[in-house]
Amino acid sequence: MVSFLKHLRIDHGDMPHCDRTPPMTPKLLNPLSPPRTPCSPFDLKSTSFCFRKGPARSVVYQPNGHPKQVVIDGEIWPPIFKPKNVRSAKMMNLNETDVVIATYPKCGTTWLQHITSQLVKGVDYKAGKGNELCIQSPMIERMGAQFANEIKGPRVLKTHFNHDNIPKNGNAKYIYCVRNPKDCLTSYFHHNRNFKIYNWANGTWDVFVDLFASGQLAFGDYFDHLLSWIAHIDNERVLFLKYEDMIDDLEGTIYKIGQFIGGEAKKRVEDLATLCEIADNSTIDAMKKDQKRWFPESQLHKAEFIRKGGKRDWKNYFTREQSDRIDAIFKAKLAGTKAESWWKEEMAWSDQLPSIENLTVDDEEDKWSQRELFALPPLSQRRYSRASLLSSGYGSIWSLASQTANQQ
């Protein structure tokens, strides 16, 4: 046992505790050390380890009751990720025609890939076995730079990298989409139970809430991920979207994406028939009918990758205490940012009362965020709709459509 611990190079400083540590931020820890988790006690006897040998070492680990994960360079990833692929993705060269779909997991990633692939590739965007979306539009940190470089351009690439890790060379364009954390958490819970790689088909809700709240899931901390990208919300090469706005106005969002990408995508959204066709192909109901298109069925326990979509499904799972816990972290982490006023209705415990707006947290009793809450004035909520598009540079197609309708 002593030699086993010595091999792990574990000391008391690496043992689990309840401090929030951002796993997507490089830490001065040995890359072979198991990550800290605030959930069940980290018992070496009930934790399975698998050490990958060689210069690109990593640790696949699974504490009892947790999803299986891997630590690479101090960051947490899904267990099948390889160091060489993660590292090469961070350094890969992007082309001017590349469109990078960047999200935290379960924030509309596949939805945006599907929409953007139709806009960019047109008839070259194929379906059928061997043409799954995960192959045509690969996750760069999963597949690596070499695989991505073999794809014919223009490329639609996927990533769950935070902004610190994203490859930034070249003049590629980035579309970042975010979803309210409670619905994101709920969808990510089902995702971990459904994908075989996590070995967590019977995983429990309470454990997952703890892992999400403490940022100890694959791809890191939701709030830190959002903070890394929101700092670049006004960058001309970054289009910042909200999942809930896509639900409220799908056609308007598709039009906005096409105008942002430019080229053939811009031409396609300015053709009203093409725009409507893409929108019809991209509804949640339409995507549910073609489940084999997204991931090979062999990777899933249930052959259903597109599950539910929509808003406020979290109310079917959260306790009031869990809801308040996420609200407290949200308010502490996002204070002073444009996101602090987002999702008041979507995150409210009551359908009528936006509880997060009225939430107060006593620093002495706040056992989750451990951060001072700053009383800053709220920022206006950013929402895109057809009405707002009409008054913007993206609204020409709707003006044209309205004029045509009036003439007829």
pLDDT tens-digit readout, 181-196: 999 999 999 989 988 9
Active-site residue flag, 160: yes
| Other residues' Cβ atoms within 10 Å of the Cβ of residue 249 | 18
Cis peptide bond N-terminal to 35, omega within 30:
no
Q: Could you identify the residue written with the tokens 């205490």?
A: 321
SS3 361: coil
Pick 372 or 327 by higher pLDDT: 327
When mean pLDDT is compared across 115-124, 150-159, 298-307, 388-397, the lowest value belongs to 388-397
Q: Are 36 and 17 within 8 A, CB to CB? A: yes
Give the pLDDT confidence score for residue 231 in this predicted structure. Answer: 94
Give the pLDDT confidence score for residue 26 in this predicted structure. Answer: 41
State the pLDDT confidence band at 204, using cuts at 50, 70 and 90: very high
Strand partners, 177: 103, 241
Residues in the chain: 408
Give the pLDDT confidence score for residue 381 in this predicted structure. Answer: 36
Q: Does the pLDDT at position 388 exceed 90?
A: no
Pick 373 or 231 by higher pLDDT: 231
Averaged confidence pLDDT in the chain: 76
**CA separation for the pair 106, 309 (Å, rounded):** 9
Catalytic residue among 66, 114, 160, 225: 160
What lies within 8 Å, CB to CB, of 262 at 6+ separation is none
Mean per-residue pLDDT, 265-292? 87
Residue 238 tokens read as 């970054």
State the pLDDT confidence band at 396, using cuts at 50, 70 and 90: very low
Rounded to the nearest 5°, which phi and psi values hold at 2? -65, -45
Q: Are 260 and 285 within 8 A, CB to CB? A: no
Mean per-residue pLDDT, 252-277? 96
Q: Are 252 and 187 within 8 A, CB to CB? A: no
Give the pLDDT confidence score for residue 119 in this predicted structure. Answer: 96
DSSP state of 177: E
pLDDT tens readout for residues 126-173: 776 666 777 788 999 999 999 999 998 899 999 999 999 999 987 899
